[in-house]
Structure 1
Amino acid sequence: MDEKLRDDIPIFQQIAETIESGILEGSYSIGDRVPSTNEFAKFYQINPATAAKGINQLVEQEILFKKRGIGMFVGDNARNIILSKRKERFYHDYVVPLRTEAARLGISEDELNDWIRKGDRDEN
């Protein structure tokens, strides 16, 4: 679990994203139990209802499923659901604005693609 919560994002959303990231990074696999609302509440010193809101959001999206009296567990298709959701968000948050600004600056699609390919090499 992340040690600190941010002030600019609702806490319940951060709880959901913490679990999602754990699934994507391999901390939680299909069928694994995730921390309970009370465990999140104690760790982050938050209201259990807030933690429950984040966890229930993932249940609604079929990322987690509930075993009554036992806890919440990672669903069979959780990773694919999260990847699909995050790719969609990446497209709208980064790709669309990038292409819009590139068009404003007169940057061609080929030039933009070259920069993206080159950017990988420049980082190393």
Structure 2
Amino acid sequence: MKSALDNNRPIYLQIKESIEEDILNGLLKPEDQIPSNSQLVKHFNINPVTVLKGINLLVDEEIIYKKRGVGMFVSPDAPEKLKKRFSKTFLKEQIEPLIAIAKPLGLSQQEVQEMIDRAWKGEEND
């Protein structure tokens, strides 16, 4: 869980995204209990309504679910749902703009792939 929040973005979205990141990174696994609303309120020192708003978004997206009287838990298919959603976002926000820059530069798909491969391995791209 993040230790600090960014004042430039809605806090409830940051709460939601923090839990999503923990799920994607394997810190929260399917059927794990997420921190309670009161724990989140105390951790981030924020209004309980703000926490609830972020949590409700995750419930609406079926990323987490409520066990009455027990708490909130990660849905069994949450990691797959999140990976699929983030993959679509990655394509739109990163890959498509990359291609839009590479084509006018005259870079071939193979050249771009080779650059990606080198970067993935941590090698210098000339």
| Same topology, TM > 0.5 | yes
Runs of 4+ that moved beyond 6 A: none
Task: Give the aligned CA root-mean-square deviation in angstroms.
Answer: 1.4
Q: What per-residue deviation string (whole Å, max 9, x for no partner) do you get for residues 2-37 of structure 1?
A: 111112322111111111111122222221110122
Alignment of 1:60-71 (within 5 A): 60-71=60-71
Return the structure number with greater helix share: 1
Alignment of 1:71-110 (within 5 A): 71-110=71-110
Q: What per-residue deviation string (whole Å, max 9, x for no partner) do you get for residues 65-87 of structure 1?
A: 01122211111101101111111
Amino acid of the structure 2 residue aligned with 1:25:
N
Residue identity over aligned pairs, in percent, reads 38
Instruction: Say if 1:41 and 1:48, in contact at 8 Å, map to a contact too.
Output: yes
Counterpart for residue 116 of structure 1: 116
Counterpart for residue 46 of structure 1: 46
| Number of residue pairs the alignment of both structures matches | 123
Unmatched 5+ residue regions in structure 2?
none
- Cα shift at 1:64: 0.2
Instruction: Say if 1:37 and 1:49, in contact at 8 Å, map to a contact too.
Output: no
Amino acid of the structure 2 residue aligned with 1:94:
Q
SS in structure 2 of the partner of residue 104 of structure 1: coil
Counterpart for residue 26 of structure 1: 26
- Report the Cα distance in structure 2 between the residues aligned to 1:64 and 1:109, rounded to whole angstroms: 39
Counterpart for residue 37 of structure 1: 37
Counterpart for residue 9 of structure 1: 9
Unmatched 5+ residue regions in structure 1?
none
Q: Scaled by the length of structure 1, what TM-score is found?
A: 0.90
Amino acid of the structure 1 residue aligned with 2:85:
K
